[in-house]
């Protein structure tokens, strides 16, 4: 049996503006992962794809062209120049679905890696990332490419669309709490709604995207310098700008306020928004206290992640 996996991710700074060419910063969250296993099946059966957590099973042959599991399997087979194998591919994941944590990109990455290993082949990360990006388009419409990049490279990334990928290391560990609002974040719809508003008021939105881009660049300096106090303030500023572009919600604002009240250095929504997660930057000693306040404010799940 062949097995492969990929981590979740969070966007620290720059979501949405990144779709319009501004920079963004994302980090992997290896505490949650998607895993794909492939085993040989009886001859003639073809490839069966099983999403074990969702109780879903599709055969490659019977699947619709826009089924994301089948799409990534088909793209991978074509890329490798391999015919459909007689095999059973099972996917499991601990990454919250529709939480802005890259669950779709991680599932696709795990599938590509498992199939590549099944055929005894190797693919460089840029090719894995490109295949996953193709399927991200089915999930998201106009993705920037940041999700597939951070999930595949499994390193903190400073990402600008269509530019060479830059990975980097924090000057001091970042202690993050990732709190799930329990409301799904529908990336495709939220990204499309932002686009509609940008088309109506391009000058206003371009100004806000520029401001976000400036915050991202300051944040990168603060991360590399290990200056978590400056970084916390920048998270607060980024959240305000995301509110202005209309992607927060009363629930997300409440979690952000609760985190700050509990002693976080800064907090913001992460990912597409209108639901999904908020992230809070904390000092290690304050993590338990902030987690408690987040739960009291309604967080359905809190993940503690240290980025090094
Ligand atoms: C989604 O994880 C992040 C967004 O910026 C969309 C994208 O970059 O494709 C909202």
All residues at 6 or more sequence positions from 11 whose CB lies less than 8 Å from its CB, including other chains: 18, 24, 25, 26, 100, 146, 270, 271
Please give the pLDDT value at position 66: 82
Distance from the CA of 162 to the center of ligand 1, in angstroms? 15
All residues at 6 or more sequence positions from 274 whose CB lies less than 8 Å from its CB, including other chains: 183, 185, 186, 190, 247, 248, 249, 252
Mean per-residue pLDDT for 114-121? 98
Q: Classify domain 2-159 by CATH architecture.
A: 2-Layer Sandwich (3.30)
Q: Which fold has domain 170-307?
A: Alpha-Beta Plaits (3.30.70)
Mutate to test the pocket of ligand 1, among 101, 140, 275 (most ligand atoms within 8 A of CB): 140
Nearest CA to ligand 1 atom 2: 271
Active-site choice (55, 67, 78, 147): 147
Distance from the CA of 6 to the center of ligand 1, in angstroms? 18
pLDDT digits (tens, 9 = 90+) for 131-175: 999 999 987 878 999 999 999 999 999 999 999 999 999 999 999
CB contact at 8 A, 91 and 111? yes
pTM of the model: 0.95
Mutate to test the pocket of ligand 1, among 16, 158, 216 (most ligand atoms within 8 A of CB): 16
Distance from the CA of 117 to the center of ligand 1, in angstroms? 29
CB contact at 8 A, 191 and 19? yes
Confidence of residue 292 (pLDDT cuts 50, 70, 90): very high
Please give the pLDDT value at position 33: 97
Nearest CA to ligand 1 atom 10: 272
Please give the pLDDT value at position 61: 92
Q: Is 147 a catalytic residue?
A: yes
Please give the pLDDT value at position 139: 76
pLDDT of residue 17 exceeding 90 = yes
| Ligand 1 atom closest to Cα of residue 100 | 2
**Rounded distance between C-alpha atoms, residue 212 and residue 215, angstroms:** 5
In the chain, what are the domain boundaries? 2-159, 170-307
| Ligand 1 atom closest to Cα of residue 146 | 8
**Rounded distance between C-alpha atoms, residue 143 and residue 189, angstroms:** 12
> Residues enclosing ligand 1, CB less than 6 A?
11, 15-16, 18-19, 100, 140, 143-144, 146-147, 187, 191, 271-272
| Ligand 1 atom closest to Cα of residue 9 | 2
């Amino acid at each position: 049996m062949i097995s492969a996996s990929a981590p979740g991710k969070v966007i620290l700074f720059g979501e949405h503006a990144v779709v319009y060419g501004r920079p963004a910063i994302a980090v992997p969250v290896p505490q949650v992962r998607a895993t794909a296993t492939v085993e040989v099946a009886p001859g003639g059966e073809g490839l069966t794809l099983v999403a074990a957590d969702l109780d879903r099973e599709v055969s490659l042959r019977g699947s619709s062209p826009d089924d994301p599991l089948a799409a990534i399997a088909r793209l991978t087979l074509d890329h490798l120049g391999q015919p459909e194998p007689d095999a059973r591919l099972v996917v499991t994941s601990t990454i919250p679905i529709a939480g802005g944590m890259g669950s779709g990109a991680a599932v696709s990455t795990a599938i590509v890696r498992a199939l590549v290993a099944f055929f005894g082949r190797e693919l460089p990360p840029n090719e894995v990332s490109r295949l996953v990006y193709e399927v991200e388009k089915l999930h998201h419409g106009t993705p920037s490419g940041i999700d597939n990049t951070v999930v595949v490279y499994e390193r903190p990334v400073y990402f600008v669309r269509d530019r060479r990928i830059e990975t980097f290391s924090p000057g001091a560990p970042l202690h993050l709490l990732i709190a799930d609002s329990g409301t799904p974040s529908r990336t495709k719809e939220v990204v499309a709604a932002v686009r509609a508003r940008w088309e109506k008021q391009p000058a206003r939105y371009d100004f806000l995207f520029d401001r976000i881009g400036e915050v991202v660049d300051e944040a990168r300096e603060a991360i590399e310098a290990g200056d978590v106090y400056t970084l916390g303030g920048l998270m607060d500023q980024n959240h305000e700008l995301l509110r202005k572009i209309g992607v927060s919600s009363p629930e997300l604002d409440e979690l952000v306020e609760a985190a700050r009240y509990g002693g976080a250095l800064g907090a913001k929504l992460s990912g597409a928004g209108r639901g999904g997660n908020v992230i809070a930057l904390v000092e290690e000693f304050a993590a338990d206290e902030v987690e408690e306040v987040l739960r009291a404010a309604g967080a359905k799940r809190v993940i503690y992640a240290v980025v090094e």
